[in-house]
Structure 1
Amino acid sequence: MNHINNWILENPTLYSIIKYAMIVVFVLLIIQLLRRFLKKNISNSSARYKSQKGIEFIGYVLLVILSFSYFTGNIKDFTLAIGLFSAGIAFTLQELILSIAGSIYIFVVKVYKPGDRIEINGIKGDVIDVDSIYTTMMEIGQWVSSDNYSGRIVKLSNAFVFKGPIYNYSQDFPFIWDEFNLPIKYGSDIELAKSIVIEIASKSLSDFTANSKAQWKEIVNKYYVEDAQVEPTLAITLTDNWVQFNLRYIVNYKKRRITKHELNDSIRKAIESTNGKVTLASTTIELVKIPEIKVDVTK
């Protein structure tokens, strides 16, 4: 045994190769141990996969750096390799780093929180969870109309808070403006129609109007924004076919659909009770002249 040890020591090249092989084995062993550790401690499959791939990449870059430094022995080259290694880590784990930074940003700046309704990266929904990597949302819209849940739960990387706008429907001011059009037939009592629409809207939306006024004052004090009218407003437009009523009003962001239904139904009933003084219009075709038809019947 001593004879073998002496023989190895007397051959520097062989000694160097064996030493290098031990370093490689040690690094590969560390990589495998870290991969097993991540597999056991990270429950999210996507994060676990990315972390394991990141560890593999870092380990292989480290092997290249150690190999370069081992065979050159130049401290300047080693410093350069360390710099390249750091850049490799940042590049490989940039999405994971951005996600973690995004979670900190969401928490500190209070971009949104569980319970808020937001739209981010083209996805709209209610936030149901925010962790260190993902924001989990209950999706709204897509193949269902209005503000109904689609039933899909969406996980979105927190990194998206740095990549585009975030629309928050509920933060600071949990109200939104909504509107719809009513076609009133020409010849109807327009003043009566106006009073019906405004009266029903003011009565049905009184709670939303009162609550939104107080909160809008806080918005004006907090942000550089002009004061806004929160009472229902009615605008009239004359079209080729009918008198178009445009009703604009404020409503709680979670009650937009049911409120529009109640307003439409109440206005319909009120118009029907006018006994024809007010009539809803529909698309019609007016025949200006009936063409003459000549029929020649011969026996």
Structure 2
Amino acid sequence: MGGRVSETTSLATPEEADISGGPHGIIDDRKKYFHCSPVVFMTHHKIFAARGRPEVDPWGFLLPLSPVVWMAVGYVGNLTSLLAVRHISHPYQTLRDVIDDPNIKILLMAYVPELTLFKTVESGVYRELADLFDTERVTVSTYSNLVADMNRLARPGTHVVFDVDINFWNFMAADFSLTGQCDFYVGQSTYFPLPLSIMAQKNSPVSPAVDRDAFALMESGLFNKWMKYSLANTTACVNPPMVITVTTVLSLANLWGMFVVLGLGCGISCLVFLLEKIVSSTKPLTEIH
């Protein structure tokens, strides 16, 4: 969904179709040839990336001491589970996070107006992104190859994708249906709001009917409902957990933080004891008596 600009305009100019087969983004290039209906759906550009691997939190033993746990169900019942906490990182939430990390590459879509916009700005994060276009950190793909490139480049964690979020939700729903797990996440920051509409030929007699039906879809919320239920598991990975608990044997690998605290405590105690002995040994006998 969204389509490539070149394909959409080539369909409109020779008048091969009366209306679009689905909603497309409203951009200047398309408005030259299309009549755009009222907006039926809003999408945004976001960061799409692979989730990190579960990592042991060596300080997990401190979590039962938090006020939230004490107010909830107490210390004893939570100690065992919180010692087995695993954290899954979602490091790339914004374009700034991506640009500042020289080890990550960016996958962008060809034939989209954002590529031109990036090159026209003079400063800021978009300018910095445009400066990377001629480097190996930027890879350009097409919508026909998007799914394959997301599996090939984004899944191993070498690339993030910057595109409209509706493509990400559809991909993650299909991927969850196959694997039963959430291997990707979508960043929180949003860029470039993109309204979608049904498009028809300029001065087409069907335009009034298209406008009426599009407005009815938006007003009733029917289109949003279609989007939600068009694929199975569309909401399964909307908010994947970043903290999970697992059943595991306690070992030094996940308890070394506890021994660090114990060692520091013993060290400080010994230091205080030695200071007390030194101070007491330097006092005059009269003061001692």
TM bin, normalised by shorter chain, reads: under 0.3
Q: Normalised by the size of structure 1, how large is the TM-score?
A: 0.21
**Bigger share in helix:** 1
Q: Which has the higher contact order (CA 8 A, sep 6+)?
A: 2
| Larger radius of gyration between Structure 1 and Structure 2 | 1
